[in-house]
Structure 1
Amino acid sequence: MASSTSSGSSSQLQNSGSEEDLQALMDQRKRKRMISNRESARRSRMRKQKHLDDLTAQVAQLRKENHQIITRVSITTQHYMSIEAENSVLRAQVGELSHRLQSLDEIITFLNANNSGVFGSAVAEPIESFLNPLNLSYLNQPIMASADVFQY
């Protein structure tokens, strides 16, 4: 019986050694898995942080570009308003000059109709001096118009 007891006890020791080895192996695998999971989580956090940093930089760049575009639009709008005001002044001057030209054409038509013999030669000399461009000093007055006169 002693030999059977010793062989039973030896097999129990081996079982207990195998169970301890198995438990140690499982603990070691568990620790490796835990370390691997921690490393994976750390890499994931680093990727998320890099992505967040990239997005933050992109937001800053887009805000800068937006500000530049707004500035350019503002400058272009100011130029447009300035040119529009100048065009209004020029349109007013064209209208005034067209009116003056029409009046002068009417005067010339009237004078030509009356100069054809109605007044005779006594009136021809004053009419010629009237039509002389050097004597038309009253027509050499500047046309003044400003942008604030015209409102849209």
Structure 2
Amino acid sequence: MASSSGTSSGSSTTTTTTTLATSEEDLQALMDERKRKRMVSNRESARRSRMRKQKHLDELMAQVTQLQKQNHRIITNINFTAQHLLNVEAENSVLRAQLGELGHRLQSLNGIIGFLNDDNGDGDEPAVDSFLNPLNLPYLNQPIMASADNMLQY
């Protein structure tokens, strides 16, 4: 009996060892399966991260292109406006020169009218017949007045 109990205890140790080995192999297989799933999950996560990064980069590149186009339009508008300003300033200079010239003409004509009125109005000299002197007509004896409306009709 003693041998039978010894045999049975040796058999149970072998069974326990075999069960432990099988349990360790199962545990190792389970850990390997979890590790494999984690690696697959990490790869998928990295792939999604790369896709998000690429999408963000594409959006930024599109924004750069849009901003470059907008910048080009603004520069074009600035150049057009600057050219228009130069044209308006040149036209303004011409108009100012014409204003000065017309002002001098007006002064000269008023001086001539004043001279003619002084010669004919003092009574010392004989009066010149109005029919013979067209500058002595009544409507010409009034000073010439200039207005801004008439000067800008050129």
Shorter-chain TM band? 0.7 to 0.9
The one-letter code sitting in structure 2 at the alignment partner of 1:62 is L
Relative contact order, higher structure (CA 8 A, sep 6+): 1
**1:6 pairs with 2:11:** yes
Q: Work out which of the residue numbers 69, 87, 91 in structure 1 matches 2:92.
A: 87
Report how many residues are paired: 133
- The residue that corresponds to 2:70 in the other structure is 65
- Give SS of 1:121's match: coil
TM-superposed deviation, 1:9: 0.6
TM-superposed deviation, 1:8: 0.6
Mean Cα deviation higher: 64-73 or 114-123:
114-123
Gaps of 5+ in 2: 1-5, 140-154
Conserved 8 A contact 2:119-2:125: yes
Mean Cα deviation higher: 53-62 or 111-120:
111-120
TM-superposed deviation, 1:95: 0.5
**Which structure 2 residues correspond to residues 88-103 of structure 1 after superposition, within 5 A?**
88-103=93-108
- Rg larger in 1 or in 2? 2
**Which structure 2 residues correspond to residues 1-152 of structure 1 after superposition, within 5 A?**
1-116=6-121, 117-122=123-128, 128-130=133-135
Cα distance in 1, alignment partners of residues 37 and 9 from structure 2: 41
Cα distance in 1, alignment partners of residues 116 and 124 from structure 2: 10
Cα distance in 2, alignment partners of residues 25 and 131 from structure 1: 127
Gaps of 5+ in 1: 134-152
Conserved 8 A contact 2:116-2:136: no
TM-score by length of 2: 0.79
TM-score by length of 1: 0.80
TM-superposed deviation, 1:77: 1.4
Question: Stretches of 4+ moved more than 3 A in 1?
Answer: 122-126, 130-133
Cα distance in 1, alignment partners of residues 23 and 103 from structure 2: 116
Identity of aligned residues (%): 60
The one-letter code sitting in structure 2 at the alignment partner of 1:96 is E
The one-letter code sitting in structure 1 at the alignment partner of 2:124 is V
Superposed CA RMSD in Å reads 2.0
Cα distance in 2, alignment partners of residues 13 and 54 from structure 1: 61
Cα distance in 2, alignment partners of residues 90 and 129 from structure 1: 32
